[in-house]
Amino acid sequence: MFAINPFAALSATIPPAAMQAYVVAMVVLVAAGTLFDIVHKGSARYFFDNWRRSKASARSELSGGELASIAVQTAVVDVLGSGEFCSARRRVAHLLTMYGFLIHVISTVVMVFNYSTASIWPHLWWIGGLMVCIGGYWFWFFIRADVAAEGNSPLRLMRADLFVLSLLASVTLGLIWAFLQANGSGGAMVCFGLYILATTVLFGSVPWSKFAHMFFKPAAAFEKRVSYANGTRSNLPAPADKPEQFGSARTAPRHY
């Protein structure tokens, strides 16, 4: 089961061109939704204005080498390591979900456009999906601030939950569909339809969910580090690996 490309088996029912067109449509939705989010919320203008103010009031000019070093720190600590999370549990859950999502999506694209079953991609598809489920459900039921800190019900829903819920629904239904299909269950196509619905919501709701944040966060983290390095200080919290900017590590903000 784990070595079978589920989309290859599906090609007997749905034309490969239709599946490939759907993947392209989802990419277009993400790009259009992100651009709409940037224009509607003014995110790009905010960061560029902040960047200009930071350069204008800088106490020291940063060299190209220093900017490159800050960019590397941003990529390693803030992007790849999710260093903004002080809580180890939340960081682990976030990393599982983030890397699982990337592995799952990349594997999906490869398997839809290349039906070779003699490869590692089906295994990676399952591994990525399971990583998303572990990290996502762990976060949803045990780590969310309104659940862990405020004692609210994990079934309490808000618009901010749209991204994580649609992500979990898409991946979970996808794994269930692949399992049912591999075992010849008659309910596989029903589950596939729900999988497509959840996936469409996930990629089509970018302007209303937190999906676009994954594109904004690196820019915000880089601007934050530059503002601390050139002496202007940002209106954002200090970089995660620089608690001394607060006077002591104890005063660093905590994310539950």
Per-residue pLDDT reduced to its tens digit, 45-78: 666 666 676 666 666 777 778 778 878 877 777 7
Does the residue 256 lie in any domain?
no
What does the block give as tokens for 67?
């900017």
What does the block give as tokens for 80?
């790849």
Asked if 107 and 121 count as a contact pair (C-beta separation under 8 A), the reply is yes
CA 1, chain centre distance (Å)? 27
Asked if 140 and 23 count as a contact pair (C-beta separation under 8 A), the reply is no
Does the residue 187 lie in any domain?
yes
Asked if 199 and 101 count as a contact pair (C-beta separation under 8 A), the reply is no
Q: Which residue has the tokens 């239709």?
A: 18
Cα separation, 151 vs 154, in Å, equals 9
Does the residue 237 lie in any domain?
no
Cα separation, 144 vs 158, in Å, equals 12
Cα separation, 6 vs 104, in Å, equals 13
Tell me: the pLDDT tens digits for 192-203? Answer: 999 999 999 999
Does the residue 240 lie in any domain?
no
Does the residue 14 lie in any domain?
yes
Does the residue 77 lie in any domain?
yes
Q: Read off the pTM.
A: 0.75
Q: How many folded domains does the chain comprise?
A: 1
The amino acid that residue 57 corresponds to is S
Give me the domain span that covers residue 210: 6-56+64-232
3-state DSSP assignment of residue 85: coil
Q: Which pLDDT does position 196 carry in this prediction?
A: 97
Does the residue 239 lie in any domain?
no
Asked if 143 and 93 count as a contact pair (C-beta separation under 8 A), the reply is yes
Q: What is the mean pLDDT of each run of 10 residues along the chain (256 residues)?
A: 87 91 95 80 66 68 78 76 73 91 95 79 95 94 66 66 91 96 88 96 84 68 74 59 43 39
